[in-house]
Structure 1
Amino acid sequence: MTAKLQNFAMGQWTPGSGPETEILDAVTGELICLAHPGGMDFEGMMQYARSKGNKALRKMTFQERGRMLKALALYLTERKEDFYKLSYRTGATRADSWVDIEGGIGNLFAYASLRRQFPDKPYYVEDEPVGLSKGGTFIGHHLLVPKEGVAVHINAYNFPVWGMLEKIAVNLLAGMPAIVKPATITAFLTEAVVREIINSGLLPEGALQLVTGTGEGILDHVTYQDVVTFTGSAKTGRMLKSHPRLIEEAVPFTMEADSLNSAVLGEDAVPGTPEFDLFIKEIRKEITSKAGQKCTAIRRALVPEKLVEDVQIALGRELAKTTIGNPLAEGVRMGSLVGREQLQKLKDQVAQLARQTPIIYGDLDKVELVGADAQKGAFISPIVMLNQDPFRYTDTHEVEAFGPVATIIPYKTLDEAIELTKMGKGSLVSSIATADAAIAQEFAIGAATHHGRILVLNNDCARESTGHGSPMPMLIHGGPGRAGGGEEMGGVRGVKHFMQRVAIQGSPTMITAITGVYQQGAKQIEKDVHPFRKHFEELEISETWVTHKHTVTEADIANFANVSGDHFYAHVDATSLEGTLFTGRVVHGYYILSKAAGMFVDPKKGPVLLNYGLESCRFTKPVYPGMTIGVKLTVKEKIGQEKRSEEDIAKGIVKWLVDVYDETGETVAIATIMTMVKKLNQDS
């Protein structure tokens, strides 16, 4: 019996309904499964996600959500070989599948680690407070909370695993559930991964749902609390972006569209240089990886006029080494497109381009294969074209042939190369191969307005560079104009996209109570027990220890200068102060900080395990010999940490506000330090 592609909706697996569509193996043409386009209750799915998944995720802290992602990444890693077996049926080689499968799981790991940049709270206090009054009794702060809706992800066919995981990693860390709608043709692989995610039991009920059909009507029920993301063609993206419901409800919409990405060969990168070889290697890789079916693939190769023939010969030589065929066959480095429908569309696009820009490598109708039949699979040879007049023949900058196709374009000057990259009307990525820093700077600044990412490739970074076509989790993935005008991933920036930012105004004490972060000027809680004698759980936000005082002497300055080796003239030479800001020998700023530490530290062994670092420090007023300083040490923020092993010590990070003041009560130095503090409960 033929399998049927399943949806996961409202906690149940269902095949949907409507006319059957055959999903075929991209390599052999064999039937994989049947898909049904509709029959989904999208309104019910939305309500289920909001009432179940959203409520559960919103209650979890960032630390809990991050640990959930880590556990899920480990769980999927153990089952990755099952995903590889299915991935071959999409026409992908092992290397292609590695990017999709392990790259996607890698995103889960990356965002799991990102939890360390967030508090152990369900919400996020952003940046620093803003003073709104002269006396400091009225301040403002920005707070971010998870939206109360659902993230709807509409994905393309080329990355059925990465396309899903790179997005849900972000919304789950932010505290929002997701409904994922992959392209049907490769959704059998997405379905397999979702089945394992659901089987793991690691996500709260309603945190993830899957639609494998057409998804028609999926946007009819979104609200202003939801977020919609789209990856695919610019044409489809524009259609979705104009959906009446999105406009009426002002729903955030992020679009990451296929674009005419470019790679530039710097004028210094002549044959024989490492950069020339790297450029050729990168073009070859981007043409053949995933059979060119990448939104970031190089479509336009810009080359100095005098080097066009050299590039043509070198690239042809490299492409000739590429064995095409069944991804399971030994030695195959390039597989097929995902289906014969895509193959025909690609041929039509290349034929259109070829009217102005001739094919100089490859053949639309002939391809030598290993272990495969060209009449059954969706195979095509790499195609390289040449546009000798790129300002006249503009199809190169407007028509994207989504497959193993690139066009060589000559340029006269770097300014012209920059202008040609911009003719793509907005791209996800551009790269330049150069060892010349001046060329790199001119290109990067000049091309930045039209690109979401720019890679500068040279021999210094080549060994570790992830390459032109690889978006990284902690950097934005997106681009202006044709590329969609949106941003995905981007580390903390991406997480904020699924949260609502609100400005909170009030007194420092009230803002402290709301944010759970001590605000300077708020009421302080003084206790009889030194805070260094307390465990992590026992410390309270705003708890303050007021130290004894110390009168600074000239001997302190001299001794610190000798110990530190800091003999800056303002500290040691009173005769050199004319024309400066100082009225006498000034105390070292780092002496003040060091002395403050000596004043507030409790030296006995206790729950404080170590000094974790200095987050910020400012010296706000000069200190001269004869002045008296004191310290107020206040618990500013607490961030719990999970145990790395059963033997590990349960602990957390405490941020302390160190306020050093003089005899007038005025602050002379202000710093935030961090300590690692043992927990009372060693089972947590």
Structure 2
Amino acid sequence: MTQSTLPTLLRPASYVYGTWHSNPDGQTLVDAVYGRPVAVISSEGIDFAQALAYGRQQASALRRLTFHQRARALKALGAYLMERKEAYYELSALTGATRRDSWVDIEGGIGTLFSYASMARRDLPDERFWPDGKVERLGREGTFVGRHLLVPREGVTVQINAFNFPVWGMLEKFAPSFIAGMPSLVKPAPQTAYVTERVVRDMLASGLLPEGALQLVTGDPGDLLDHVEEQDVVAFTGSAATAAKLRVHPNVVARNVPFNTEADSLNASVLGLSVKPEAPEFALFVREVAREMTGKAGQKCTAIRRAIVPGHLVEAVTEGLRRELAKVTLGDPARDDVRMGALVSVEQRERVRETLARLQQEARIVISGEAQLLGGDREKGAFLDPTVLLCDSPLTAKGPHELEAFGPVATLLPYESLDDAVQLAKLGRGSLAGSIVTHDRAEATKLVLGMASTHGRLLVLNRENAKENTGHGSPLPQLNHGGPGRAGGGSELGGLSAVRHHMNRLAVQADPTTLAAITHEYVPGAQVQEDGTHPFRKTFDEIEVGDSLLTHRRTVTEADIVNFANVSGDHFYAHVDEIGAREGIFGKRVAHGYFLLSAAAGQFVWPAPGPVLANYGLEGLRFIEPVGIGDTIRTRLTCKRKIRKDLRPDETRPTGVVEWRAEITNQDGALVATYDILTLVERARDEFDPPADTLSA
């Protein structure tokens, strides 16, 4: 592609209460490269109260799905969108984004769907609720227990998104909300709403989403926040100033609606005091600052705004940045020879210029210039060359720590000690992301712990992780994306913690049997079922939570201990040294803990071939009481919970994982060891399995 292709004037519509709404009149948007009209958006005529009510009413269909069913839908949706990604790239170029910039937005956003689908299948139960934490014993006799449950909020997640990531910004909120069982109403920023609308059209066309799970408003949000209710969630991404206004909206405050903010912040990167100009870390720092300045033309909420460098390296860093930024080609992002495109609009460029002028009251420009434009229109387009400033007195200056030029602008801040570097980083009053570039571990430790309270994420970059690290400004689905103070005090992503944000945490108090019935997980002390059939002779489908086996007894002998010591090589004194053991904490020789596990397995394992295919793991092992020579043990094995496994392409036998609670007791009935065993068990083929003829032989 050599030039951005302008499509027929787009009229992105809104999708609310089950229908598409468009208006021939509205706000005209122009492309960021040549300033040509590209789209007309409007939300005129939309009843926002009805849209929210529709989402709440329809949400029951989404809530009826289990976490695993939602995860499968999310995974399939990701594959569906990935097949259509080129159409999104074509539209994204009109926003001023290069192919590389758009990759983060488009494929990074779709990748978030895959990540949340995987996390949900791996870590959440195949239920509509989420048992949270352990069972708490609330009474002395064990007949009164409690546990927390997470259940979906019965409202709508209202997304108010920024212009810089029209795809990722939506999908990184949609994924955890969908997994949690909450529908989304998406309000993209107007400048790039036509990109969001195209993706939403495909999401709805896929047929993978329950009706009402996704709504879209492309134009002005009108009185939307006047109609949110207690069960709704508002998730905002944008400027700190706008967040401050929306957070105190009278209806949001009156109804105590959860309001999650991810706001632009004055993120910093610190070059370690120990780094030499010839060290790999020096080059890494320079490249990272330059990359963050020019990626998305600097329009990233996580971009490096403040480069904190040792005073004696300021000149070297400046020269390094000058050389690196000289390689940046500016122009039409659809061209293969362009590395940096335009800002999203001329209005945005003018705001950056105004902020840049204010920054110059306390800092001076050390790198600037007007690069040759490779395509695009210098005036009608929203182009701005990378600019680097230097503040000579950063500890007393205010502008660099308060003013954000949301474009390709960064300020160098010199420091003399690590304490000064930490203080400078903290002057940003809360950041989404920070980075520390050093190979000195002591230096990294001091900087990380010093900066920790004011940052949501910190990258320690050095020669060891240079090839694999994802960069200062790249949030990952598994890790926190948010920050304190100016950054908003909220958190997007962060693995399953983002799912929790869309759920209500309930404490349930009951007797063990009732709690087990509610949670579909065995609770110690609950009633069990013993039907005479060994549990290991049952298939995954035949096993029920609470199925139990109480084994025969076995008396531990000295020969058992000696033989196990010889087989294992474990000759710890407490097992084999009569005098040493008598003087130890037990006052006698005791059996190896791992002997007890082996002996218990010998008690409950069914030796013949059957549905149980393999031991899948062991968790939560605790040795509670010592077992000595002459003590008698027996084991109770109880089905704790079941986890269905999807068939992989290389598998032909459907399976599931059964988690068993193992409790070893002595002759007095006292618990001596407890743990959970995971077994891989054969199951019947079901509706979620692919056809047998598509699987490997």
TM-score class normalised by the smaller sequence: over 0.9
Equivalent residue number for residue 554 of structure 1: 558
What is the CA distance between 1:10 and its match in structure 2? 1.2
Give the alignment partner of residue 491 of structure 1, picking from 478, 486, 495: 495
* Equivalent residues of 1:336, 1:378 under 8 A apart: yes
Task: Tell me the matched-pair count.
Answer: 680
Is it true that 1:180 corresponds to 2:186 in the alignment?
yes
Q: 1:7 aligned to 4, 11, 14, which one?
A: 14
Q: Which residue of 2 aligns with 1:670?
A: 674
CA distance in 2 between counterparts of 1:677 and 1:558 reads 35
Deviates more, 1:603-612 or 1:309-318: 603-612
Is it true that 1:113 corresponds to 2:142 in the alignment? no
Match of 1:43 among 30, 49, 55: 49
- Determine the structure 2 residue equivalent to 1:73: 78
Deviation at 1:646, TM superposition (A): 9.1
Structure 1 residues 557-614: Cα deviation after superposition (integer angstroms, max 9, x where no partner): 1111121121222111122235521121111111101111111111111111111111
1:196 aligns with 2:202: yes
Give the structure 2 partner of residue 525 of structure 1.
529
Q: Which of 352, 359, 381 is matched with 1:346 structurally? A: 352
Instruction: Name the SS for the 2:257 alignment partner.
Output: coil
Assess if the C-alpha contact under 8 Å between 2:329 and 2:371 holds in 1: no
Instruction: Show the counterpart of 2:130.
Output: 124
Q: CA deviation at 1:219?
A: 0.9
CA distance in 2, matches of 1:263, 1:330: 30
Q: Is the 8 A contact 2:13 2:21 kept in 1?
A: yes
Give the match for residue 4 of structure 2: none
Is 1:418 aligned to residue 422 of structure 2? yes
Equivalent of residue 396 in structure 2, options 372, 389, 392:
392
Native 8 Å contact 1:62 1:174 kept in 2: yes
* Residue segments in structure 1 that go unaligned for 5+ positions in a row: none
SS at match of 1:526: coil
Matches of 1:574 and 1:278, distance apart in 2: 61
Aligned-partner SS, 2:643: strand
Corresponding position: 1:594 with 2:601: no
Selected match of 2:363 from 357, 360, 366: 357
Post-superposition offset of 1:169: 0.5
SS in 2 for 1:654: strand
CA distance in 2, matches of 1:63, 1:498: 17
Q: How much has 1:75 moved relative to structure 2?
A: 0.4
1:156 pairs with one of 139, 154, 162: 162
State how far apart, in whole Å, the 2-side matches of 1:537 and 1:231 are: 45
The residue aligned with 1:61 is: 66
TM-score (norm 1): 0.98
CA distance in 1 between counterparts of 2:404 and 2:487 reads 12
Deviations 1:145-174 (A, max 9, x none): 111111001000000000000110010011
- State how 1:466-485 maps to structure 2 within 5 Å: 466-485=470-489
- 1:37 Cα offset (Å): 4.5
- Among residues 511, 532, 549, which one is paired with 2:515 in the alignment? 511
Rounded to whole Å, the distance in 2 between the matches of 1:419 and 1:196 is 47
What's the counterpart of residue 693 of structure 2? Answer: none
Q: Is the 8 A contact 1:649 1:682 kept in 2?
A: no
Structure 1 partner of 2:5? none
Helix, strand or coil at the partner of 1:334: coil
Give, in angstroms, the shift of residue 192 of structure 1: 0.5
1:514-550 CA-partner distances (Å, limit 9, x unpaired): 1111110111111200011111121111111111111
The offset of 1:372, in angstroms, is 2.1
2:268 corresponds to: 262
Residue correspondence of structure 1 range 368-379 to structure 2 within 5 A: 368-379=372-383
Partner Cα separation in structure 2 for residue 643 and residue 330 of structure 1: 42
Q: For residue 297 of structure 2, give the secondary structure of its aligned residue in structure 1.
A: helix
Aligned letter for 1:392?
T
CA distance in 2, matches of 1:601, 1:417: 60
Tell me the SS of whatever aligns to 1:525.
coil
* Alignment deviations for residues 286-306 of structure 1 (CA, whole Å, 9 cap, x no partner): 000000000000000000111
Change (3 A) 1:502 1:683: closer
RMSD of the TM alignment (CA)?
1.2
Match of 2:450?
446
Q: Who is 1:288 aligned against?
A: 294
The farther-off stretch of 144-153 and 31-40 is 31-40
TM-superposed CA distance for 1:394, in Å, is 0.9
SS at match of 1:360: strand
Deviation at 1:14, TM superposition (A): 1.1
- Match of 1:10, as an amino acid? Y
Give the Å deviation of 1:90: 0.6
Evaluate the alpha carbon distance shift between residue 681 and residue 326 of structure 1 in structure 2; reply closer, same or farther with a 3 A threshold: closer
Match of 1:651 in 2: 655
Alignment match of 2:141 (pick from 125, 135, 140): 135
Q: Quote the Cα distance in structure 1 between the aligned partners of 2:551 and 2:606.
A: 11
Q: Please give the alpha-carbon distance, in whole angstroms, between the structure 2 residues aligned to 1:247 and 1:38.
A: 26
In the alignment, the residues of structure 2 paired with residue 451 and residue 16 of structure 1 have an alpha-carbon distance, to the nearest angstrom, of 43
Letter in 1 for 2:566: N
Of stretches 563-572 and 619-628 in structure 1, the one that deviates more from structure 2 is 563-572
Picking from 325, 331, 336, the partner of 1:330 is: 336
Give the conservation status (yes or no) of the 8 Å contact 1:639–1:652: yes
Note if contact 1:367-1:374 (Cα within 8 Å) is conserved in structure 2.
Answer: no
Corresponding position of 2:222: 216
Amino acid at match of 2:204: I
Q: Report the secondary structure of 1:652's partner residue.
A: strand
Structure 2: distance between partners of 1:26 and 1:57: 38
Pick from 307, 310, 318 the counterpart of residue 316 of structure 2: 310
After superposition, residues 633-644 of structure 1 pair within 5 angstroms as: 633-644=637-648
Q: Summarize the Cα distance change of 1:37–1:206 in structure 2 as closer, same or farther, 3 Å threshold.
A: closer
Q: Is the Cα–Cα contact under 8 Å of residues 112 and 175 in structure 2 kept in the other structure?
A: yes
Amino acid at match of 2:623: F
CA distance in 1, matches of 2:49, 2:227: 6
Write the letter of the residue equivalent to 1:653: V
* Contact 1:160–1:186 (Cα < 8 Å) also in 2: yes
Structure 2: distance between partners of 1:287 and 1:513: 56
Contact 1:16 1:40 in 2 (8 A): no
- In 2, the alpha carbon distance for the partners of 1:150 and 1:646 equals 39
Deviations 1:298-330 (A, max 9, x none): 000000111111100111110011111111223
Q: Which AA in structure 2 matches 1:14?
A: H
Separation of aligned partners in 1, 2:581 and 2:618: 30
Q: Distance in 2 between matches of 1:29 and 1:73?
A: 33
TM-score, normalised with respect to structure 2: 0.96
For 1:518, the aligned partner's letter is Y
Letter in 2 for 1:91: G
> How many Å apart are 1:683 and its aligned residue?
5.4
**Cross-structure match for 1:536:** 540
Answer yes or no: is 1:103 the counterpart of 2:103: no
* C-alpha contact (below 8 Å) 1:62/1:173 kept by paired residues: yes
Q: Which residue does 2:692 correspond to in 1?
A: none
**Counterpart Cα distance in 2 of 1:565 and 1:287:** 59
Asked if the contact 1:146/1:174 (under 8 Å) is kept, the reply is yes
Q: What is the CA–CA distance in structure 2 between the aligned matches of 1:327 and 1:10, rounded to whole Å?
A: 37
Q: What code does the residue aligned with 1:199 have?
A: A
Q: State the distance in 2 between where 1:134 and 1:554 align.
A: 36
Does structure 1 conserve the Cα–Cα contact (< 8 Å) formed by 2:112 and 2:172? Answer: yes
What's the offset of the Cα at 1:681?
A: 4.1
- Equivalent in 229, 239, 245 of residue 239 of structure 1: 245
Query: Which of 17, 20, 23 is matched with 2:26 structurally?
Result: 20
